[in-house]
């Protein structure tokens, strides 16, 4: 299979030679072919130089001595599979006795230099088997998502990882997420990718955008509910809590009939309910969460407390009711007041774009992956959209979402507007789609004369 794939790449490269103007895929296939050949030719010597070999087994030495043959040399991990990809190569290695996955992880930088590649990463697949992903160029410089994506309900391909694989936002595995980043770091583009990815799915989108709705209101056709100021946001969040309680009642009602039946599956969340009565899942997108948490007066403080309480309740109980939170902000720490760290603890998926100080990076990763903090601080200001994505397992990746303009996102939302579900509990917050008067008209209007 591997040789077949290499042959396909070589034939594709040769076919490209016949063309005068060579397309990008031609240069990619040439690069991948060279990288494959280079890795295969140098494999044993590079592994030996990087300390990834073990001495030959005793029985081999004895056999060689008895047969009067040359003494066998040290042995590198056995290649189980070599697959050329669009961005480089993937090697699956069977470790030799005495080696572990950490040995390979610790030498990835040496392997990168020795094979002359752009990036090398490794991960353990199962006991004794390690996958080494090699990229021939900086895949995050100009992000191009692969044509074939593994899209499933509530699992959205949202960005590319530095090893060339796709980064998915999987709401069923990681229900709630927090996206941090300084101003102009790429949070809105990341959120736009999420909305565009969710638009074709059977899901209700709820938006809270206290920047007067500039980010989410253009996408209104695909939203079931929108709020553009903290007062409406409070009503919307409390309506969502009521909706959540109704969904729990529905799950309870379904459980009652099956408790006595030994083999029947008992519903524990919305996904266990029969499809015909299952409530539509809801993704709540909050842009600039600090706008909900800051206050200047006593009344605003009361409102803020109710908003944070509703958000904490949704984060604690929402998953089973099919309500998922996606919170965005520049900072998200205890300086935003009571309840914020409690809310943050429930947001398992963490994404940090460029941040201006270590404290902001700590808000995203300090409690889950301390080495990701350093990676987040090191994101250069000129590569907007570059981010570190981690979760509570402590693993993290450098990712970048493909650039999507607001116009493209609006077009996708308009195309899928017919999929916007009606959620009765949120009907009062359904955005009215009407022509907005031009800002120029409004600003140039003379103020009415007052007595
Ligand atoms: N993935 C990306 N690839 C290329 N350019 C990007 C990417 N993400 C963001 N940018 C560019 O960076 C700029 C800022 O992006 P964006 O508006 O998403 O930042 P932001 O963090 O939301 O800023 P603010 O907090 O001020 O709203 C935009 O001009 C956008 O084109």
Residue 170 maps to which CATH number? 3.40.50.300
285 and 416 housed in the same domain: yes
Alpha-carbon distance of 46 to 52, in angstroms, equals 9
Please give the span between the terminal C-alpha atoms of the chain, in angstroms, as a whole number.
86
pLDDT tens, residue by residue, 158-188:
999 988 889 999 999 999 999 999 888 999 9
Q: Count how many Cα atoms sit within 13 Å of the Cα of residue 259 in the half-sphere of its side chain.
A: 6
Q: Which of 39-53, 303-317, 338-352, 382-396 has the lowest mean pLDDT?
A: 382-396
Going by alpha carbons, the residue nearest to atom 9 of ligand 1 is 186
Q: Which of 69, 103, 135 is the last residue of a domain?
A: 135
Q: What spacing in Å lies between the alpha carbon of 146 and ligand 1's midpoint?
A: 22
pLDDT tens, residue by residue, 14-40:
665 555 566 666 666 776 777 788 888
Bridge-partner residues for 390, per DSSP?
A: 350, 396
Residues with CB under 6 A from ligand 1: 181, 183-189, 384-385, 400-401, 403
Alpha-carbon distance of 414 to 218, in angstroms, equals 10
**Rounded (5°) CA angle 227-200-267:** 85
Q: What spacing in Å lies between the alpha carbon of 136 and ligand 1's midpoint?
A: 26
Alpha-carbon distance of 64 to 53, in angstroms, equals 19
The number of distinct structural domains making up the chain is: 2
pLDDT of res. 447: 44
Q: How many CB atoms lie within 10 A of CB 149?
A: 13
245 and 391 housed in the same domain: yes
pLDDT tens, residue by residue, 134-161:
988 888 888 888 878 887 889 999 999 9
408 and 260 housed in the same domain: yes
Q: What spacing in Å lies between the alpha carbon of 353 and ligand 1's midpoint?
A: 10
pLDDT of res. 27: 67
Three-class secondary structure of residue 84 per DSSP: strand
Q: Is 185 annotated as a binding residue?
A: yes
Contact 176, 326 (CB under 8 A): yes
**CA atoms 55, 59, 65, 69: torsion sign:** negative
Question: Which of 10-14, 40-44, 196-200, 257-261: highest mean pLDDT?
Answer: 196-200
- Residue 94 domain flag: yes
Going by alpha carbons, the residue nearest to atom 29 of ligand 1 is 184
Q: Is 382 annotated as a binding residue?
A: no
Q: What spacing in Å lies between the alpha carbon of 390 and ligand 1's midpoint?
A: 20
- Residue 140 domain flag: no
**CA atoms 235, 241, 242, 247: torsion sign:** positive
**Interface predicted TM-score of the whole assembly (ipTM), two decimals:** 0.96
Going by alpha carbons, the residue nearest to atom 24 of ligand 1 is 183
**CA atoms 245, 251, 257, 263: torsion sign:** negative
CA 65 from chain centre, in angstroms, equals: 55
Least Cα distance to 114 among 24, 45, 26, 25 occurs for 45
- Residue 16 domain flag: yes
pLDDT of res. 69: 84
The residue whose CB lies within 8 Å of the most ligand 1 atoms, and thus the one to mutate among 145, 158, 189, is 189
| Residues in Cβ contact with 330 at an 8 Å cutoff, skipping those fewer than 6 apart | 180, 181, 182, 183, 288, 290, 360
Bridge-partner residues for 282, per DSSP?
A: 204, 323
Helices and strands (H and E) in the chain: how many: 14, 14
From the alpha carbon of 192, which atom of ligand 1 is closest? 18
Q: Which of 82, 101, 135 is the last residue of a domain?
A: 135
Burial 306-324 (b: 16+ CB within 10 A, else e): ebbbbbbbbbebbbbbbbb
From the alpha carbon of 401, which atom of ligand 1 is closest? 1
Confidence band of 382 (pLDDT split at 50, 70, 90): confident
251 and 111 housed in the same domain: no
The residue whose CB lies within 8 Å of the most ligand 1 atoms, and thus the one to mutate among 185, 193, 353, 383, is 185
pLDDT exceeds cutoff 90 at 227: yes
Contact 195, 285 (CB under 8 A): yes
From the alpha carbon of 288, which atom of ligand 1 is closest? 25
Q: Look up the domain containing 255 and give its range.
A: 155-431
Q: What spacing in Å lies between the alpha carbon of 405 and ligand 1's midpoint?
A: 10
From the alpha carbon of 191, which atom of ligand 1 is closest? 18
Can you say whether residue 88 is alpha, beta or left, with left for phi > 0 and alpha for psi between -120 and 50 degrees? left
129 and 88 housed in the same domain: yes
- Residue 309 domain flag: yes
Alpha-carbon distance of 30 to 195, in angstroms, equals 36
Q: At what angle do helices 2-17 and 24-49 cross, to 10 degrees?
A: 140
- Residue 445 domain flag: no
280 and 365 housed in the same domain: yes
Confidence band of 129 (pLDDT split at 50, 70, 90): very high
Tokens of 45: 């010597």
- Residue 141 domain flag: no
Tokens of 336: 């935003």
Q: For the residues 390-403, what does the mean pLDDT come to?
A: 83
Alpha-carbon distance of 357 to 341, in angstroms, equals 19
Alpha-carbon distance of 118 to 381, in angstroms, equals 21
Q: Which of 105, 135, 165 is the last residue of a domain?
A: 135
Three-class secondary structure of residue 83 per DSSP: strand
Q: How many CB atoms lie within 10 A of CB 224?
A: 22
- C-beta contacts of 355-364 below 8 A and 24+ residues apart: 355/180, 355/181, 355/182, 355/185, 355/379, 356/182, 359/333, 360/180, 360/182, 360/330, 360/331, 360/333, 362/333, 363/180, 363/331, 363/332, 363/333, 364/178, 364/180, 364/332, 364/388, 364/390
pLDDT exceeds cutoff 50 at 451: no
pLDDT exceeds cutoff 50 at 263: yes
DSSP for 272-312, please give it.
Answer: GS-TTTPPPPEEEEEE-THHHH--SSHHHHHHHHHHHHHHH
276 and 389 housed in the same domain: yes
Three-class secondary structure of residue 227 per DSSP: strand
pLDDT tens, residue by residue, 182-208:
888 999 999 999 999 999 999 999 999
The residue whose CB lies within 8 Å of the most ligand 1 atoms, and thus the one to mutate among 194, 379, 385, 387, is 385
- Residue 70 domain flag: yes
The residue whose CB lies within 8 Å of the most ligand 1 atoms, and thus the one to mutate among 162, 384, 387, is 384
Alpha-carbon distance of 83 to 131, in angstroms, equals 11
Q: Is 187 annotated as a binding residue?
A: yes
pLDDT of res. 34: 76
102 and 166 housed in the same domain: no
Going by alpha carbons, the residue nearest to atom 1 of ligand 1 is 385
């Amino acid at each position: 299979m591997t040789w077949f794939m290499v042959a396909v790449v070589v034939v594709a490269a040769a076919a490209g030679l016949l063309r005068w103007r060579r397309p990008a895929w031609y240069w990619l296939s040439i690069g991948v072919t060279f990288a494959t050949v280079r890795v295969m030719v140098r494999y044993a010597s590079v592994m030996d130089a990087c300390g990834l070999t073990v001495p030959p087994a005793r029985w081999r030495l004895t056999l060689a001595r008895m047969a009067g043959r040359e003494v066998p040399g040290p042995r590198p991990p056995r290649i189980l599979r070599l697959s050329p990809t669009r961005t480089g190569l993937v090697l699956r290695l069977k470790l030799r006795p005495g080696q572990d996955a950490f040995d390979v992880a610790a030498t990835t930088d040496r392997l990168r230099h020795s094979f002359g590649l752009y990036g090398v990463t490794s991960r353990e697949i199962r006991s004794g088997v390690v996958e080494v992903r090699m990229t021939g160029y900086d895949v995050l410089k100009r992000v191009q998502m692969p044509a074939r994506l593994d899209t499933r309900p509530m699992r959205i391909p949202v960005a590319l990882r530095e090893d060339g694989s796709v980064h998915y936002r999987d709401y069923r595995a990681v229900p709630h997420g927090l996206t941090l980043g300084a101003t102009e770091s790429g949070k809105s583009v990341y959120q736009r990718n999420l909305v565009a990815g969710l638009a074709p799915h059977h899901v209700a989108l709820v938006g809270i955008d206290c920047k007067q709705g500039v980010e989410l209101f253009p996408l209104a056709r695909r939203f079931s509910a929108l709020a553009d100021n903290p007062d409406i946001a409070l009503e919307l969040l409390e309506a969502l809590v009521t909706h959540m309680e109704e969904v729990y009642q529905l799950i309870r009602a379904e459980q009652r009939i099956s408790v006595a039946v030994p083999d029947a599956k008992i519903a524990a969340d919305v996904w266990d309910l029969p499809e015909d009565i299952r409530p539509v899942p809801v993704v709540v997108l909050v842009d600039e969460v600090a706008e909900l948490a800051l206050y200047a007066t006593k009344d605003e403080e009361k409102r803020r407390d109710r908003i944070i309480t509703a958000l904490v309740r949704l984060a604690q109980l929402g998953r089973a009711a099919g309500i998922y939170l996606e919170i965005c902000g520049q900072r998200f720490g205890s300086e935003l007041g009571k309840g914020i760290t409690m809310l943050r603890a429930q947001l398992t998926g963490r994404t940090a774009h460029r941040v201006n100080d270590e404290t902001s990076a700590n808000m995203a990763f300090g409690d889950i992956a301390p080495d990701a903090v350093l990676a987040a601080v090191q994101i250069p200001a000129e590569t907007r959209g570059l981010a570190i994505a981690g979760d509570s397992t402590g693993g993290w990746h450098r990712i970048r979402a493909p650039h999507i303009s607001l116009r493209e996102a609006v077009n996708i939302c308009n195309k899928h507007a017919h999929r916007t579900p009606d959620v009765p509990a949120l009907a009062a917050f359904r955005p009215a789609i009407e022509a907005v008067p031009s800002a120029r008209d409004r600003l140039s209007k003379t103020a009415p004369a007052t007595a």
